[in-house]
Amino acid sequence: MNQTVTPPPATPQAASSGPGASSPTFSPLYQQIKALMMQSLQSGEWKPGELIPSEVELALRYKVSQGTVRKAIDELSADNLVVRRQGKGTFVATHHEARAQFRFLKLMPDSGDAHQPENRIVEVKRLRGPAEVARVLDIKAGDSVVCIKRVQFFDGVPTIVEEIWLPGAIFKGLTAERLAEYKGPMYGLFETEFATPMVRATEKLKAVLVDSSAAAHLNIKPGTPVLSVERVAYTYGDRPVELRRAIYVTASHHYHNELS
């Protein structure tokens, strides 16, 4: 796609009328450029892992200054949508990079270095979506969903058991066999084969006592204190495409997050 796109001038958004109406707001030029670049990401013009055009090329394309483009890229980088590499340029973020994988896996060992777990797929089934799952995924109750159950092992010890719900319309052809044979991160598979990169997520954490079903997978006693984590992951356009409910055993691990 080589066409030149001229961004609209920074104009005030329409303000509501009546008492308590807010003042007009303006969209800075760099945010307009960011929005245009987001369109290129969402459309697949720039694919995960690929080098995007240089700041000079983008400035010519959008007919703005290089500084304006740089500020737009700064924001995309802060959102973890692109990655700058010194001397090489700016690349679309991908889950095939280790740095991206640890963005979403926050369970860290109490000692030693963080590393990826081994996975065992317990079950993959396609069914009609329960109402509460459909509501989170913004689909209709009864629409097709894929439910994945798996156990993750750290150094041979079962540490995470999780239930993953995905919209069936997006993840056609996803099977237990495909997941078992794929050796990279699950989000990498979603990105590569289903054109659905996970770009952000929200999580809710709660300390609970493990039930008998999860306890059996984790080789612990029912009633053992564990960490319950519910995640909703989103792709471009802030579209929810995954509901993940997991139980973490924290006997030798902890949940680590950085706040800024």
Confidence (pLDDT) at 33: 95
| Same-domain status, 84 and 184 | no
Confidence (pLDDT) at 25: 58
pLDDT digits (tens, 9 = 90+) for 145-181: 999 999 999 999 999 999 999 999 999 999 999 998 8
Looking at the 3D structure of the chain, how many domains does it have? Answer: 2
Which of the listed residues 93, 125, 152 is the one where a domain comes to its end?
93
Contact 129, 144 (CB under 8 A): yes
Confidence at 102, pLDDT banded by 50, 70, 90: confident
| Same-domain status, 50 and 135 | no
Can you tell me whether residue 59 is helix, strand or coil? helix
Residue 150 domain-assigned (yes or no)? yes
pLDDT averaged over every residue in the chain: 89
Residue 226 domain-assigned (yes or no)? yes
**pLDDT (mean) for 200-226:** 97
| Same-domain status, 62 and 187 | no
| Same-domain status, 124 and 249 | yes
**pLDDT (mean) for 22-38:** 83
CATH of residue 111:
3.40.1410.10
CATH of residue 8:
1.10.10.10
Lowest mean pLDDT among 11-25, 26-40, 103-117, 118-132: 11-25
Which of the listed residues 93, 114, 139 is the one where a domain comes to its end?
93
Confidence (pLDDT) at 24: 56
pLDDT digits (tens, 9 = 90+) for 65-89: 999 999 999 999 999 899 999 999 9
Confidence at 183, pLDDT banded by 50, 70, 90: confident
CA distances from 33 to 37, 62, 101, 123 (A): 6, 8, 28, 44
| Same-domain status, 226 and 194 | yes
Lowest mean pLDDT among 11-15, 28-32, 203-207, 208-212: 11-15
Residue 101 domain-assigned (yes or no)? no
| Same-domain status, 116 and 231 | yes
C-alpha–C-alpha distance, residues 91 and 10, integer Å: 28
DSSP 94-160: -TTSHHHHHHH--EEESSS---PPEEEEEEEEEEEPPHHHHHHHTS-TTSEEEEEEEEEEETTEEEE
Confidence (pLDDT) at 15: 41
Confidence at 251, pLDDT banded by 50, 70, 90: very high
| Same-domain status, 135 and 85 | no
| Same-domain status, 133 and 217 | yes
Residue 199 domain-assigned (yes or no)? yes
Residue 100 domain-assigned (yes or no)? no
pTM for the full predicted model: 0.83
pLDDT digits (tens, 9 = 90+) for 232-242: 999 999 999 99
| Same-domain status, 44 and 113 | no
| Same-domain status, 56 and 182 | no
| Same-domain status, 69 and 134 | no
Residue 217 domain-assigned (yes or no)? yes
Residue 98 domain-assigned (yes or no)? no
pLDDT digits (tens, 9 = 90+) for 1-24: 444 455 544 444 444 444 454 555
Residue 4 domain-assigned (yes or no)? yes
DSSP 172-240: TT--HHHHHH--S-HHHHHHHHHS----EEEEEEEEEEPPHHHHHHHTS-TT-EEEEEEEEEEEGGGEE
| Same-domain status, 149 and 224 | yes
| Domain of 12, in residue numbers | 1-93
